[in-house]
Amino acid sequence: MKNVPEQYQRCGQEIMQRADALAVHTEADGMLTRTYLTTMHHAAARQLSAWMLAAGMQVRRDAAGNVIGRYEAAPGHADAAALVTGSHFDTVRNGGKYDGNLGILLPVSCIAEWHRAGRRFPFPIEVIGFAEEEGVRFKATLLGSRAVAGTFDKAVLDNLDEQGNSMREVMRGAGFNPEQLDASAWPAAAVAAFVEVHIEQGPLLLNEALPVGVVTAISGATRFMGELQGLAGHAGTVPMHMRRDAAMTAAEIGLYIERRCSSQPGLVGTMGIMEVPNGAANVVPGSARFSIDIRAEQDRIREDAVVDVVAEIDRICARRNVGVTLRKTHEAGSVPCAAHLQKQLASAIEACGLPLRHLPSGAGHDAMAIAAIAEVAMLFVRCGNGGISHHPDEIMTEEDAAIAAQVFSRFVENFTA
């Protein structure tokens, strides 16, 4: 790290050490699982609070359980809108150490360096550890950031976890009042901008040997669950031309999705679930169940692909004489990152002597929710192992953490709303 200044090398080392320390707070031995408002989730929140306090920040919790650290502005600027950053500290089951956590640990380490140097800015900096993003425990996502954005859907308070506990009951048991969630919402005027630092969760930066990249937009997504009804039969006695094979119908649908979504840059399609209920080696499948996930940076590209896929499903099923039921389960538009914030991140990268790369985010992030009240930007950081994430093999390097800290610091030091 000979080209990285010493203070950012310290940040990189501290970020990696703290990611290891935070991973100790897990609900399951031998793997990292930390879900909303469990004992280990509370322990992680306490640890984050302690690190924020040590960095010279004032710390508070809101009704959703978010951990919020505030680094005050320079004298005379106490009423200025804040530059807000952060990410989530819950995890998927058997997840990685850097997804979400990096976006909290990195700015806290940078702020600690400014605090030691006695440096303040003409705006406060708020770092939010969002209490819930993944949706694992209560099957509702982005709870922390939606509370801050004022878009928390209170209907999910009645969602149950695997033990039959409602979110409402769990929140009260943890000392948070769900009736005060409205008070967790921030007015738009209080936020100058929101920038989220996150591992890429993909292979592009790794494959191009780049430590960081500027996110252009968070892709929109459309999801369906489909059910196919054909006709079961004996695998040895039903001629091929007479079959109404539900599994082969699903396979043909999947291959069409692959072809269609390979036809345009930035468009991706996935059939992540394909099931044959009560399947057997010697039975022609009479039914099948499948999922579809289609994403793109530009909504029109995604919407056109969805129209084509749905039409082709009807054609395939009609030709094969197989019934189909298709149910849309999710739709979210893309969230563009603000052009002027992208430009400032790009300037910070180039000022650090690094190549510039813009790329979309195919995964959802807390910035999606915060976009309801503020302009947003994201800085992606390279991850190793082929870009794997949501998995114990998710990795990043201390050098990349240091470089990202340098870029983030340069961005903040030159930030204009």
Query: What is the per-residue pLDDT across 351-369, written as a single tens digit (0 to 9) for each?
Result: 999 999 999 999 999 999 9
Q: What is the DSSP string of 203-261?
A: SHHHHTT-SEEEEEEEPEEEEEEEEEE-B-EETTTS-GGG-B-HHHHHHHHHHHHHHHH
The answer as to whether 401 is a domain residue is yes
Do 238 and 142 fall into the same domain? no
Give the pLDDT confidence score for residue 403 in this predicted structure.
98
CA separation for the pair 309, 137 (Å, rounded): 32
- Those residues whose C-beta lies under 8 Å from the C-beta of residue 3, and which sit 6 or more positions away, are 353
Do 23 and 164 fall into the same domain? yes
Q: Taking residues 304-328, report their average pLDDT.
A: 99
Do 179 and 269 fall into the same domain? no
Give the pLDDT confidence score for residue 3 in this predicted structure.
86
Do 140 and 33 fall into the same domain? yes
The answer as to whether 296 is a domain residue is yes
Give the pLDDT confidence score for residue 80 in this predicted structure.
98
Do 67 and 136 fall into the same domain? yes
**Among residues 299, 332, 365, which one ends one of the domains?**
332
Q: Phi/psi class of residue 389: alpha, beta or left (left: φ > 0; alpha: ψ in -120 to 50)? A: beta
Q: Taking residues 147-164, report their average pLDDT.
A: 97
Strand partners of residue 161? none
Q: What are phi and psi of 289, to 5 degrees?
A: -135, 140
Do 53 and 183 fall into the same domain? yes
Q: What are phi and psi of 40, to 5 degrees?
A: -70, -30
Q: Write out the residue range of the structural domain in which residue 51 sits.
A: 6-218+334-413
Q: Phi/psi class of residue 174: alpha, beta or left (left: φ > 0; alpha: ψ in -120 to 50)? A: alpha
Query: What is the per-residue pLDDT across 379-411, written as a single tens digit (0 to 9) for each?
Result: 999 999 999 999 999 999 999 999 999 999 999
**Among residues 332, 358, 373, which one ends one of the domains?**
332
Do 323 and 343 fall into the same domain? no
The answer as to whether 358 is a domain residue is yes
Do 343 and 313 fall into the same domain? no
Let me know: does 184 contact 144? Beta carbons within 8 Å.
no
pLDDT of 1 > 80? The answer is no
Q: Taking residues 33-39, report their average pLDDT.
A: 98
Per-residue pLDDT band at 100 (split at 50, 70, 90):
very high
CA distances from 326 to 142, 225, 323 (A): 26, 6, 10
Let me know: does 69 contact 57? Beta carbons within 8 Å.
yes
The answer as to whether 1 is a domain residue is no
Do 407 and 348 fall into the same domain? yes
Query: What is the per-residue pLDDT across 240-269, written as a single tens digit (0 to 9) for each?
Result: 999 999 999 999 999 999 999 999 999 999
CA distances from 21 to 11, 47, 60, 256 (A): 15, 9, 21, 45
Question: What is the domain-level CATH number for residue 237?
Answer: 3.30.70.360
Per-residue pLDDT band at 102 (split at 50, 70, 90):
very high
CA distances from 218 to 54, 103, 386 (A): 33, 16, 21
CA separation for the pair 89, 106 (Å, rounded): 13
Number of domains, the chain: 2
Give the pLDDT confidence score for residue 62 in this predicted structure.
98
Query: What is the per-residue pLDDT across 178-210, written as a single tens digit (0 to 9) for each?
Result: 999 999 999 999 999 999 999 999 999 999 999
CA separation for the pair 201, 78 (Å, rounded): 37
Q: What is the DSSP letter of 161?
A: -
Give the pLDDT confidence score for residue 388 in this predicted structure.
94
Do 308 and 381 fall into the same domain? no
Neighbouring C-beta atoms of residue 100, cutoff 10 Å:
27
First-residue to last-residue Cα distance in the chain: 32
The answer as to whether 232 is a domain residue is yes
pLDDT of 2 > 70? The answer is no
Mean pLDDT of the chain: 97
Do 224 and 208 fall into the same domain? no
Do 289 and 346 fall into the same domain? no
Beta strand 358-361 pairing with 212-218: parallel
**Among residues 316, 332, 348, which one ends one of the domains?**
332
Per-residue pLDDT band at 27 (split at 50, 70, 90):
very high
